[in-house]
Structures are given as C-alpha cells and as structure tokens.
Amino acid sequence: MLKWMSGFADPNGPLIYKGVYHLFYQYNPKGAQWGNIVWAHSISTDLVNWTPLDPAIFPSQPSDINGCWSGSTTILHGNKPAILYTGINKLNHQVQNLAYPKNVSDPFLREWIKSPENPVMEPTTENKINSSSFRDPTTGWLGKDGKWRVLIGSKRRTTGIAILYKSKDFVNWDKSKHPLHSAKGTGMWECPDFFPVLKNGINGVDTSLNDNSVRHVLKVSLDDHKHDYYLIGSYEEEKDRFVPDKGFEEVEIEYVFRYDYGKYYASKTFFDYEKNRRVLLGWANESSSVDDDIKKGWSGIHAIPRAIWLHKSGKQLVQWPVVEIEKLRVNHVNWPTKLLRGDELLQINGVTASQADVEISFEVNENDIGEAEVLEKWTDPQILCSQKGTSVKSGLGPFGLLAFASKGLQEFTSVFFRIFKFQNKNLVLFCSDQSRSSLNKHNDLTSYGTFLDVDVLHEKLSLRTLIDHSVVESFGGEGKACITARVYPTLAINDKAFIYAFNNGTTDIKITSLSAWSMKKAQLNGKL
C-alpha cells in the first residue's frame, strides 16, 4: 500500500513511459486535510517500490489558480504524453487544462509545461454546463475519424452525465450534442473512466480499440455515495453512445457492480502496454477521525495496484493484485487440507500478522448445503453483514479469517463468508466486519459486504487478504468481489497482532488450501 505524509487522495494520470511507471495524485503538502492541492508525482519500475519527485502541476495560471484537481494522461502521436486536468479558475469555475512534458526524452517526466491555450474546455452559457459540476477528464481515445475523445464528469440536477468532447489536435475541443451516457437519480459523476476489455482473455488492450473482440466499461465515482460503480456494454462509435448490456440499462445503485465494497474511490485505470494488462489504482480514505489524522500527520493511501479484466461470463469484471507484489513475500506457510469444525479457531503461525498475504480456499460439502440459513427476502448485503456479523451463528458460516486479532479477541477485523438459501438457490454473502476492529470508538467501524457470484458446490470458494498495519484488502471468489477496510486497532499492533482461520457456524467446513506469507516493506522513498 502506498502511503505518504500529509493529505493524499485521488490517483491521477497513471501511465508507463520509457519503462517507468508514473503515478500522479491529489496531494496537500501542508497538512493531513483537504486543501492546497497539487499534482504530486512518484515513479516506479515495478508498481511496488516508489520514488517521489517534485510536484508535476501546481496552481500558477488564471485557469487553475484556485486548485489543480483530478485528471488523466494520454499518449499522443509520436509517443508524447499529455495531461488533461481540472483547474479552478479565479471565478471558482471548474475548467479543463492541458500540460505537456518539458523534455520528452526524460523517462522520469520531471517537469511539465502548461499550454498557453488553457483553459481548453470551460462551462459557458452556450453549452449549458454547471460551472461547479464539470471535472475530472478521462484518458483520451482515438475514433476511426481520427479525432480524440474524452469524457468530463458532470450532472444536471440529479442526473449524472458523462459529457463527450472531441478534438483533432488535443488542444481545440468541441462538445458533442449528446453525452456518451447519463442516468437519472445518480447525482454528480466524478472521476469517470472509459476503456475496452477483451471478451475472452485477461490481457489488457489499448484504450482506443473498438472492434468485435471487446466490450466497453464505463466507470463513475458517485459523489453522493462515495463509491465507484461500473457498467459493461458496447460503444457505438458512429453515434458516440455507450449502450449498457442487458441488466445494466437502468442504474439502480443497489444492483450495479462496484470495484470495491469498502473504502475505495476516485479510481483510475491505464493500459500497461509493456505487460499487456490494464491496471487499476484507487484511493482508500481514512476510518480514523480528523483529529487523529492531524495527530499522526498523514491521511489517505492508495490500495495495491490491481490487474483488471472481464470475467469469462461477460457479466462482471475481475480484479487481482499485480503479480509484482509477490516479490515482497517471505516466510511461506502452507497448510495441508484441514477440517475447520464448527466454533473452531486456528491460529496461522509463522507469518508477521501485521504485514501479511494470506490465500485460503474452502469447500462446502454437498451433504451439508441443506444446513444453510433461509433468507426470506432480498436484503442489502452491507446491511446483512452488519446484522449477521462474526458472532452471529448460522448453519453455514460465518467462516473466514480474523486479521489484526488481539490476545483475548477484544479487537479483530473479520473477513468471512456466510451461505444462505434464497429462492431455492445457494447465495454466498462476503463480508468485512470492522465492528470490533478497534477499541477507539471515534473510528469508522462500519461493516461492508456484497453477494458473491460463486456456485459453492462446483467452484472454489477462495479468499485472498493483504494485511498492512492499517488496511485489510480482501479478494473473494478469485477476484470477483473486493473489499478494502481501513482499521486502527489499539491492542492488535505489530507483534501484538494475530491471524486466525475461523468457523463460527454449526457445520464443519473444509479448508482445501492455505498459503500465507510475511510481507517485506515496500520502498516508498527510494533514490533515483
């Protein structure tokens, strides 16, 4: 997990250039709260170890004098990077600005020059755009007509909008007559992202690709909900419209997939053309109070970068930590098959519990599936995780992991599965229970959860959890669902933390495999 001093938020403009990964991000160099925002800049050769450079963009023009907000990078013709970002001008209007590297031969892209044409897009009475709801340009893509296209997040009353702009030269932009997509009742669309994914295969593809081999993903960060939601569909280039697949036509929030069901927002993807993958980065905000943030001197992290692709069903995306994170693994612990009996707690010894990577798979016996609790009516899974937390027994579950567990279990963060019978089908609930994660009651102790699309009698019910001092990042069903939790225990700290596999149900569950590793520290202040 990437962590710096002071206030730290949205990932902006990630890219790979001349073999170097670049991550820009919203950053307050003067404190652990929002304000004084610049585009901080860090580089890496492996997406794990990072070196901070001087800020790439900071207020200096009339078009950004009151703030340099989120945006994206695009690789233009001739392998030339360009940044589009939102600036707040002297009228406090949100406008879009352009910047280029001062020296394209520098693989570290240390210095950026702002275009004298800024702002290159702005709200006017003619284009009927709300000047306080016009932000966060996407990576650009090329249409078959040779024009660049980008999206800007916006809203009109309660309708969320992805405004489409076109340009021949990436400087002079024209607003399209129609948005790429919109949805009533969803509020402001922040940090939109739009990219193709292969119908078959896990490789990523260039952002401009649009043919029969791909589907398209439209992701938006909903300001009213503070979560990232995505739609899968087709991009009709002739009409410049995004058409969601069946089941995604109406954006009813409770039925739309999220990248992450915990603390994860303002995410951004990029195409890593050197490794043919699409990489996702996201911001995980705090569970601690503002006063505690000020005391510790920093706020906000970025989650581990994730590879992202379309599941073979075509119905949802899959996410998995980038393979480079495995370079930090040491002290491998491997369990043989074990029967985890009802009310059993097994300590995972041999790894550093405050900084670990744990992969575990469970098997449900067909003869025991009848023990599953009957769910009488559909319930919001997050509410269900709160109502039926770690201590609430049922026939099948809860079973999973206890992370950051203190001696005596006064504190723990639980990540678990619980199986229901709903409308004659087996339904898997995937939860991250923070209700007992800290004795500090000023922390956010919300529990998170979702239903997991796994056939428990024919598929592996797997869980991978990355643990790192104040974060528990979990991947259920081989990456079909992700939950990121921020926790600040008061007792389960460093060598006073423990990890357990547990089963608090009445029915025995088989552990078919368990591998765990201690994790070395990533270098976050490396030297060039």
| Average of per-residue pLDDT across 318-326 | 98
Checking if the pLDDT of 447 tops 50, the result is yes
d(CA 288, CA 98): 36
Closest by CA to 163, choosing from 139, 192, 141, is 192
Q: Is the pLDDT of residue 237 over 70?
A: yes
- 261 to each of 9, 237, 452, how far by Cα in Å? 18, 32, 11
Place of tokens 């004098």: 65
CB-count burial class (<10 Å; 0-12, 13-18, 19+) for 409: middle
Residue 290 has pLDDT above 60, yes or no: yes
> Residues 189-200: pLDDT tens digits?
999 999 999 999
Rounded to a whole number of angstroms, the CA Rg of the chain reads 23
The torsion defined by the Cα of 119, 121, 126 and 128, in degrees rounded to 10, comes to: -120
Span 468-523, pLDDT tens digits: 999 999 999 999 999 999 999 999 999 999 999 999 999 999 999 999 999 999 98
Confidence (pLDDT) at 168 = 98
* All residues at 6 or more sequence positions from 319 whose CB lies less than 8 Å from its CB, including other chains: 259, 280, 306, 307, 308, 475, 479, 482
For the cut 80, the answer to whether the pLDDT of residue 32 exceeds it is no
Say which residues have a Cβ less than 8 Å from residue 238's Cβ, sequence separation at least 6.
none
Question: Residue 464 pairs with which residues in a beta bridge?
Answer: 359, 475
- Cα–Cα distance measured from residue 91 to residue 458, given in angstroms and rounded to the nearest whole number: 60
Residue 492 to residue 399: CA distance in whole angstroms: 21
**What pLDDT score does 2 carry?**
43
- Complete DSSP assignment for 149-216: EEEEEEEETTEEEEEEEEESSSSSEEE-SS-SEEETT---EEEEEEEEEESSSS----TT--STTEEE
Q: What is the helix (H) or strand (E) element at residue 412, kind and residue range? A: none
For residue range 57-92, list pLDDT tens digits in order.
999 999 999 999 999 999 999 999 999 999 999 999
Question: Phi and psi dihedrals of 378, rounded to 5?
Answer: -65, 135
Q: How far is CA 376 from the centre of its chain?
A: 32
- The DSSP H or E segment spanning 69 is strand 68-76
- Give me the mean pLDDT over the 83-111 stretch: 97
CA dist list (Å): 224 to 14, 189, 204, 385: 25, 9, 30, 22
What is the mean pLDDT of the segment spanning 124-149?
Answer: 94
> Exposed/middle/buried for 444, CB within 10 Å: 0-12, 13-18, 19+?
middle
Average confidence score pLDDT of the chain = 94
Q: Does residue 398 have a cis bond before it (omega within 30 degrees)?
A: yes
Residue 8: what pLDDT? 67
- Three-state secondary structure readout of 70-104: EEEEEEECCCEEEEEEEEECCCCCEEEEEEEECCC
Dihedral, CA of residue 89, residue 93, residue 96 and residue 97, to nearest 10: 0
The mean pLDDT value for 383-388 works out to 96
Mean pLDDT to the nearest integer, 327-340: 96
**Per-residue confidence (pLDDT) for residue 1, from 0 to 100:** 45
Contact 233, 215 (CB under 8 A): yes
> Helix, strand or coil for residue 133?
coil
Catalytic residues, which ones? 10
The Cα–Cα gap between 426 and 106 comes to 55
Q: What is the largest CA-CA distance in the chain?
A: 71
| Rounded CA separation 230/162 (Å) | 13
Q: Long-range contacts made by residues 420-423, C-beta under 8 angstroms, separation at least 24?
A: 420/372, 420/373, 420/374, 420/375, 421/369, 421/372, 421/373, 421/374, 421/375, 422/374, 422/375, 422/378
Give the side-chain half-sphere CA count within 13 A for 232.
20
Strands 214-222, 471-476: pairing kind:
unpaired
pLDDT at 173 over 80: yes
Residues 246-274 pLDDT 10s: 766 554 555 689 999 999 999 999 999 99
Please, which pLDDT band fits residue 419 given cuts at 50, 70 and 90?
very high
Ranking 164-168, 187-191, 245-249, 418-422 by mean pLDDT, the lowest is 245-249
At which residue do the structure tokens 């906000």 appear? 300
Percentage of the chain lying above the pLDDT 70 cut = 96
Domains of the chain as residue ranges with CATH: 2-321 (2.115.10.20), 329-519 (2.60.120.560)
- Please report the pLDDT score of residue 254 as a whole number: 57
70 and 10 Cβ atoms separated by less than 8 Å: yes
d(CA 204, CA 29): 34
Angle (CA) 378-382-383 rounded to 5° is 65
